[in-house]
Structure 1
Amino acid sequence: MQKIETLASWIEQSDNIVFFGGAGTSTESGIPDFRSAAGLYQTEQHSPYPPEIMLSRSFFVKMPEIFFDFYRGKMLHPDAKPNGCHRLLSKLEAQGKLTAVVTQNIDGLHQQAGSKEVLELHGSVHRNYCMGCRRFYGLEQVMASKHLVPRCPYCQGIIKPDVVLYEEALDQEVLISAVDAISHADMLIIGGTSLTVHPAAELVSYFRGNRSVLLNMDPTPYDKKAGFIISDKIGEVMDEVGRTLEI
């Protein structure tokens, strides 16, 4: 496939690659995109709440039981494993070619694959903190809680996932680091994202290089700006690129 060979060639020619990814990066690992998971939840539970409401800060405060019912059932996938995309990005970082992964995902699969420089725009399910005493807890402790709403054993405060909910601002330090990484990249790989979630989607506009590739199954607002587009499964594409590069 010509586009696979072109992508591999661009990677070989680049020394400062940044990957910007979204939910589609993890669907081949068995993690449904947010709207699919929310839609399934609403169908199964006959929930009257749209996804943006269920995962909002105000809803979390007012109805933590419903929030955690949805969050535990549809947002947590502890058995998921990295796919070809996660693995290749880790290898490229180890070679010194890839300088950062900027992700909208909260699943931690990039780190599980071995990536070190991962900028998580929307936080991570693997970090949780007590809203009372600010102690931090891992995902295992939250899942092991006997109560639907996990509480701190020290102060009984609610343990909140360290993920960015609707109505909450993104971490400014992470944003600044993402802008810096993308603006200095000589190649930008955009994968598995519709580029419609703001302000995260606006970050790709900071890219100043001339090698940008978009790996996504559906059209995005960036289609006309990308160097070229591959509309196949990203994990399979990156596996093939890895074989082409022999890494």
Structure 2
Amino acid sequence: MNFAELKQMVATSSNIVFFGGAGVSTESNIPDFRSAAGLYQAKNESAYTPEEVLSHSFFMKHTEDFYDFYKSKMIYKDAVPNQAHLALSSLERDGRLKAVITQNIDGLHQMAGNRNVMELHGSVHRNYCMKCNKFFDLSYILNIKNLVPRCDVCDSVVKPDVVLYEEGLDMELLFRARECIANADILIVGGTSLTVNPAAGLVREYAGGKLILINKMPTPFDARADFLINDSIGKVLGALV
């Protein structure tokens, strides 16, 4: 099938689901994790690996070190949606895209205008007191004078609503994502290495014959794809809309 036919297929569907990862936001200058230029490959002067720092046990034991890394490496407050985000927003406005399922925590899909976004790994924009559960936005985390944000009501530590290593996903959210993918006419997967479970396993829930996989690097699911495109996700999605 040529690209014109693929575009026509997308144009005539009313039940598209998008599942994406860190590669969706790299064109917004947010580094991914596992590529050659990714976060896990960057020079690290700390005695700890990024995987260790981004774990629940590290957060509990070394909260200051966690926040030092988190604020400098995980938050990109000036990032704006790129062509991929804008294309997905356009698909939703046109009634073709039913859901965005993302592993990203940056909130750029919502900033672009998408409404039905399932954030499997949480969001930097939501933060909660670990004792009284009071909500705090990102500006509170960034502007508080102390490195470790504390609740202005009970003085307990405020934790980002992001899923750390050793923590489980929200099972209700995961179930909703599975249901959306299972019922999708077209499943577009993009910007993800499909190596992090259980999120990556969601692709197996799709039993249709219109799996579009867009990623610059090979993934374990390439052989399952009905349409495999190794190119910029922003470029491809922008051309499909």
For structure 1, the 5+ residue unaligned runs are 243-247
Deviation of 1:4 (Å):
3.6
Deviation of 1:234 (Å):
0.7
Residue 91 of structure 2: aligned partner: 92
Find the residue that maps to 2:167 and give its secondary structure. coil
1:60-81 Cα deviation digits (max 9, x unpaired): 0000111111100010001101
Alignment of 1:115-130 (within 5 A): 115-130=114-129
Do the aligned residues in 1 keep the contact of 2:123 with 2:162 (CA within 8 Å)? yes
Superposed structure 1 runs of 4+ greater than 4 Å apart: none
Residue 179 of structure 2: aligned partner: 180
Q: Aligned AA for 2:158?
A: I
Alignment of 1:1-247 (within 5 A): 3-35=2-34, 36-40=38-42, 43=43, 45-242=44-241
Deviation of 1:27 (Å):
0.1
- What percentage of aligned pairs have identical amino acids? 54
Find the residue that maps to 1:166 and give its secondary structure. coil
Q: TM-score, normalization: structure 1?
A: 0.93
Q: Larger helix proportion, structure 1 or 2? A: 1
Do the aligned residues in 2 keep the contact of 1:3 with 1:230 (CA within 8 Å)? no
Do the aligned residues in 1 keep the contact of 2:10 with 2:240 (CA within 8 Å)? no
Distance 1:30 1:52 in 2: 21
Distance 1:196 1:220 in 2: 8
Distance 1:5 1:86 in 2: 21
1:83-105 Cα deviation digits (max 9, x unpaired): 11111111111111110000000
Q: TM-score, normalization: structure 2?
A: 0.96
1:30-81 Cα deviation digits (max 9, x unpaired): 10013422432xx2x5112122111000000000111111100010001101
Q: Aligned AA for 1:217?
A: K
How much is the aligned-residue C-alpha RMSD, in angstroms?
Answer: 1.2
1:184-242 Cα deviation digits (max 9, x unpaired): 00000000000000000000100121111111010001100101211111112222223
Do the aligned residues in 1 keep the contact of 2:188 with 2:213 (CA within 8 Å)? yes
Residue 245 of structure 1: aligned partner: none
Q: Aligned AA for 2:113?
A: G
Find the residue that maps to 1:127 and give its secondary structure. strand
Distance 2:40 2:143 in 1: 23
Q: Aligned AA for 1:165?
A: L
Find the residue that maps to 2:99 and give its secondary structure. strand
